[in-house]
Amino acid sequence: MNAHPSSSLRELPPVNDILALPDIAALIEKRGRASVREWTRLAVADVRQRVSAGLTNGASSRGDLVALVVQSVHGLANRDSFQKFGAVINATGVILHTSLGRAPLSAAAVAAIAEAAAACNLEVDLDTGERRYRGYQLQSAWERLTGAEAALVVNNNAAATLLALDALCRGREVIISRGQLIEIGGSFRLPDIFSQSGAILREVGTTNRTSLEDYERAIGPSTGAILRVHPSNYEIVGFADSPAIGELAPLAHRYGLVCIDDIGSGCLVDTTHYGLPAEPTFQQSLAAGADLVLGSGDKLLGGPQCGILLGHAELVERLSGHPLARSFRIDKLTLAALSATLDAYLRGAAVQEIPTLALLAASQNELLTRADRIREAVLILPLQQGAGGGSSPENCKLKNENCKLQIEVARDSAPVGGGSLPGAALTTAVLRLRHLHIPAEELARRLRTGVPRVFGRIHEKALLLDLRSVLPGDDERIAAALQQLLLESL
């Protein structure tokens, strides 16, 4: 017969007694007394409610209730752990996944960040000892890689666009094709940036077709610039056309206007080498005559989040002296990571060292081989004690067909993502997970909240771990996460 709730409530231990338990004391050492005390208070309150509602499955003794509280405390601690900011293995297949941090940084960039965490030559010339502007260290690299006379780096490309429009075109019209009035992530629209900058938006052409004559007819006494924006997060196909930057720049210059080109992904390489559509690059745009070229650092460039402005020295000097430039400036850690990233390009080692490019370049056969190795590593492990009599070789091989968790290797395709190469996809290899009793959504949740945290995607009621976006060094960690999932399903 179950105890009456009121008598069970008297058995609930106070918070201080729970905190004195060895298991909880160990948790305090790891997570701090204040946090654990709060979790314990919440756990005791939760168990009290469950006792009052008769939802403790017969647990009524002090020992039973203590166990429930301790279990709840650890549950709250675990929930707090996987909500903390930190590393996640991106197994979605989307290399530039905005929600997962876009471009993974190179080992050299990570090392540069660690080194710059101490004192560094952020705004000082080590030769003369005089103060200099932030980012001067990269000027030579930008010139050698792109031919740019000068450069300025701000915290993202939206900031770069706002700064360029405000500093160069406030109160003047900027002509742009109607088909390029983009919306970027977070419902942030280009017309909003125009409104904030004080520049006057002058749309020309139609959604799908804009001609050079459309631009020329719109030029008047109040025109300040022609802006071309590469539609890097969408694609218009079919009966569509718009002038290239090589056509717009001469038109702008004929009328004494500034030609601004926002190339979006900040690319420095020929993406057709990876079997992808051509993406505009900084060097191509500058060579075609653009006065100022804008792009992101954390997309196809493969570096940290930042907005890059390259172009004529006189224009960049005006941008650098604008009040917004200080508001938008990058910190020393971003500068360090970007410097290391550009150095890889200068040494001709970008494809080998920059993860984004290496992930783009990987062949499907390479990915299939890695997927097979991960699967084999998962399926060869000692059985749990009591589940099969020791760990002899015969008992170490788990037959996939006998497991509730099925793991298959399959071919698939994945988009590049991150507002780059819209509509383009790369062939890939996936680990397809299905469980006889656990839905794919729950499998995904368990991997996202485990150690390591692995983020996959769901397709046709299966959880896919896509190696197109997984760094090779994370293969063993994925295998370990899947081994734990497999053991839980035996």
- Model confidence at 95, in pLDDT bands (50, 70, 90)? very high
Q: Is the pLDDT of residue 393 over 50?
A: no
Distances (CA, A) of 467 to 87, 277, 363, 367, 484: 17, 21, 11, 6, 19
Q: In what order do the strands lie in the sheet with 307-311?
A: 150-154, 307-311, 292-296, 258-264, 223-229, 173-177, 200-204
> Would you state the pLDDT for residue 60?
64
373 Cβ partners below 8 Å, 6+ apart? 475
Q: Which pair of tokens denotes residue 70?
A: 């301790």
Q: Rounded CA gap, 204 and 177, in Å?
A: 5
Q: In what order do the strands lie in the sheet with 420-435?
A: 405-417, 420-435, 462-466, 457-459
- The answer to pTM > 0.75 is yes
79 Cβ partners below 8 Å, 6+ apart? 449
Q: Which of 338, 417, 447 has the alpha carbon at shortest distance from 99?
A: 417
Q: Which of 362, 455, 375, 445 has the alpha carbon at shortest distance from 408?
A: 375
- Model confidence at 187, in pLDDT bands (50, 70, 90)? low
Residues of the chain with pLDDT > 70: what percent?
90
- Residue 454, amino acid: V
- Residue 447, amino acid: L
Q: Rounded CA gap, 345 and 463, in Å?
A: 36
Q: Is the pLDDT of residue 1 over 70?
A: no
> Would you state the pLDDT for residue 57?
66
89-100+356-488 matches 107-350 in fold: no
- Model confidence at 88, in pLDDT bands (50, 70, 90)? very high
Residue whose pair of structure tokens reads 């896509």 in the numeric block: 466
Query: Of the ranges 47-51, 285-289, 338-342, 419-423, which one carries the lowest mean pLDDT score?
Result: 419-423
> Would you state the pLDDT for residue 471?
96
- Model confidence at 387, in pLDDT bands (50, 70, 90)? very low
Alpha helices in 301-438 (DSSP H): 313-320, 323-327, 332-346, 350-353, 355-361, 364-379, 393-396
Q: Which of 310, 244, 281 has the alpha carbon at shortest distance from 420?
A: 281
Q: Rounded CA gap, 38 and 57, in Å?
A: 25
179, 236 in Cβ contact below 8 A? yes
Q: Which of 246, 358, 229 has the alpha carbon at shortest distance from 295?
A: 229
User: Domain 89-100+356-488 belongs to what topology?
Assistant: Aspartate Aminotransferase, domain 1 (3.90.1150)
Q: What is the pLDDT of residues 195-205, one digit of tens each?
A: 999 999 999 99
Give me the mean pLDDT over the 77-85 stretch: 80
- Residue 127, amino acid: D
> Would you state the pLDDT for residue 6?
54
Q: Rounded CA gap, 426 and 275, in Å?
A: 8
What is the domain partition of the chain in residue ranges?
5-83, 89-100+356-488, 107-350
Class of domain 107-350: alpha beta
Buried b (16+ CB within 10 A) or exposed e, 379-398: bebebeeeeeeeeeeeeeeb
413 Cβ partners below 8 Å, 6+ apart? 425, 426, 427, 428
DSSP 14: P
Q: What is the pLDDT of residues 20-55, one digit of tens each?
A: 999 899 999 999 999 999 999 999 888 888 877 776
Q: Which of 303, 336, 327, 325 has the alpha carbon at shortest distance from 120?
A: 336
Task: Tell me the β-bridge partners of 413.
Answer: 427
- Mean pLDDT across the chain: 89
Q: Rounded CA gap, 2 and 130, in Å?
A: 81
> Would you state the pLDDT for residue 238?
72
Q: Which pair of tokens denotes residue 282?
A: 């900084």
342 Cβ partners below 8 Å, 6+ apart? 138, 141, 142, 145, 303
